[in-house]
Structure 1
Amino acid sequence: MMDIALLKGRPARLTVLNFGSFRVHAGPRDIGICGFLITTNAGEHVLIDSGFPAKYADDPHRATEEDNLGIFGAVLSITTDNMPAAQLALAGVSPKDIDLFILTHTHIDHLGGLFDFVQAPLLISATERALPKPLYWSGGQPWDWPDRQYVTVVDDARIGPGFELFHVPGHAPGQIAFLLELPQTGPVLLASDAISRPSEMDEAFDTAWRPEQAIASAARLMQIAQQRDAFVIYGHGPDQWPTLRKSPAFYD
């Protein structure tokens, strides 16, 4: 595993950010939209993912129509309280305090803050960044890549002490996941949409971009979790979501 040393401190606190809720027609299933704030013992702040574009808080119905997202699902609740700034504020952090911004991949429910936190480098898979445009949503890719500082990774990497990144394509070309070592909670695996929910593994990732890759990536992550005895937080686990501590609560 390569060491890119973007952080000086070790993860000291993990805060789950509530970016709203969404109903997927398939199932149907109601899911939470999550992001993460990691604070290190050196006082650094890392933001992982950023929810839907802000227009979904302004007018979710109009935004859904613009993006033709209604063929996939429907917004249940996304308000200004679910935007990154408000969620960070609950944890006592402002957008300008973010030292590193990470996108696990560029689907519409993760990349909403793509143009924000410009003082922070944006860490992203090189595979994802090489796409002509961010993935956004299959109804269209209206956004171009902004002019900002990018840090790209091509494989697994250690981005700081006790903070590992895994390249796990399948759900998306550049999907990444993370393992944190917290002082009290211990190892935590942030699977993101590499495993959105446990049942996805039983379904053989039949809706993934590349199901065979997704199956292999999920198996690898679960093996890592088992070996490290890690607490796994799934990308959109309907059963897990209500049980997670959310901002301002945290895991330490």
Structure 2
Amino acid sequence: MIRRAALALAILLAVPRLAQAAPPDVRLYTLDCGRLVDQDLDPYADDGAYKGLKRTMVVPCYLVRHPKGDLLWDTGVPQAIADMPGGKAPGGVEVKRKLTDQLAELGLSPADIEYLALSHSHFDHIGNAGLFAGATWIVDPDERAWAFRPQARANKTQFAAYSALETAKTAEVGEQPHDVFGDGSALIAPAPGHTPGHTVLLVRLAKAGPVLLTGDLWHAAESRAGKRVPRFNVDRAETLASYEAVEALAAREKARVVRQHVPEDFEAMPRFPEPLR
């Protein structure tokens, strides 16, 4: 695994620039896929910096619409929570709008999504993934193995949310970024450490420019500058190597960096159903 971390910087910096302008009709939609309310932040920094702090985290999903198809990035917490009283589940998990309802507002059903990618396989990113088992699942092989390991299967409720992906068609990220549409407009690259096969998504837009969706690299707003590592990450050294790699990619691309759980970054995106172009 350390070899993967050592390669991350070289791989990400090798991501090719577009030879021409980004396709003008690529759009990026930000969908509301839940909230993690009043979370204890202490687990999100192994240096004790967040002890005693609580914060609400947003749980977004993202849809990339391209002339060659639609890519859904992350699927949020289970949308069935929206049917519970007040749209709330134990543990401070809330869902106000179902993912499928938001897709329907764009004239889409789960069957219409050609590509599915998950930054990683934690419950708040994979909670509705089974609905999209008909899509091509773009996944790091280490993350696929992690998602289907015996310990993951043992949590029957969470596993049921994505178990249908076990027989889905897949495309691998591996040690090279995956060019989703073949034109450099959407690239999925390895950024391991939080989980074994955690990934990030670079979307290049004609007007807004490059946008870097960073999954769970940073959970709190101050985690990026502080290079804080959650206590539950699978590999601290890989996490720090991925920080370096992603920062280098963001600097080279002059990309807008989206820390996915940070409310300020969520609110700064166009409000659904308006896209970023």
Tell me, yes or no, if structure 1 residue 205 matches structure 2 residue 229.
yes
CA contact (8 A) 1:104 1:177 kept: yes
SS in 2 for 1:36: strand
Q: 1:141 to 1:226 in 2, by over 3 A?
A: farther
User: Which of 105, 111, 124 in structure 2 is aligned with 1:109?
Assistant: 124
How much has 1:222 moved relative to structure 2? 1.2
How much has 1:209 moved relative to structure 2? 2.9
Name the residue aligned to 1:129.
Answer: 144
How much has 1:247 moved relative to structure 2? 1.7
How much has 1:195 moved relative to structure 2? 2.7
CA RMSD of aligned residues (A): 2.9
User: Which of 254, 258, 261 in structure 2 is aligned with 1:233?
Assistant: 258
Q: 1:176 to 1:89 in 2, by over 3 A?
A: same
Whole-angstrom CA distance in 2 between matches of 1:187 and 1:121: 24
Whole-angstrom CA distance in 2 between matches of 1:19 and 1:251: 18
Deviation string for 1:187-217 (max 9, x for gaps)? 1111111233442231521333322221221
User: Which of 171, 177, 185 in structure 2 is aligned with 1:151?
Assistant: 171
SS in 2 for 1:170: coil
The structure with higher relative contact order (CA 8 Å, sep 6+) is 2
Name the residue aligned to 2:10.
Answer: none
Tell me, yes or no, if structure 1 residue 59 matches structure 2 residue 84.
yes
Whole-angstrom CA distance in 2 between matches of 1:12 and 1:171: 29
Deviation string for 1:142-192 (max 9, x for gaps)? 416422222232123222312211100111111000111101111111111
CA contact (8 A) 1:171 1:214 kept: yes
Tell me, yes or no, if structure 1 residue 171 matches structure 2 residue 171.
no
User: Which of 181, 189, 204 in structure 2 is aligned with 1:181?
Assistant: 204
Q: 1:60 to 1:43 in 2, by over 3 A?
A: farther
SS in 1 for 2:264: coil
Whole-angstrom CA distance in 2 between matches of 1:190 and 1:133: 24
Structure-2-length-normalised TM-score: 0.75
SS in 2 for 1:16: strand
Task: Indicate the percent of aligned positions where both proteins have the same amino acid.
Answer: 24
Name the residue aligned to 2:65.
Answer: 39
Whole-angstrom CA distance in 2 between matches of 1:180 and 1:133: 28
Whole-angstrom CA distance in 1 between matches of 2:139 and 2:147: 14
Structure-1-length-normalised TM-score: 0.82
CA contact (8 A) 1:225 1:231 kept: yes
CA contact (8 A) 1:12 1:39 kept: yes
Which amino acid letter does the alignment assign opposite residue 32 of structure 1?
V
Query: More strand by proportion, 1 or 2?
Result: 1
How much has 1:141 moved relative to structure 2? 5.7
Which amino acid letter does the alignment assign opposite residue 242 of structure 1?
E
Deviation string for 1:22-53 (max 9, x for gaps)? 1212221111101110011x251111111112
Q: Which runs of 4+ in 1 moved over 4 A?
A: 60-65, 134-137
Tell me, yes or no, if structure 1 residue 100 matches structure 2 residue 115.
yes
Whole-angstrom CA distance in 1 between matches of 2:134 and 2:187: 23
Query: More helix by proportion, 1 or 2?
Result: 2
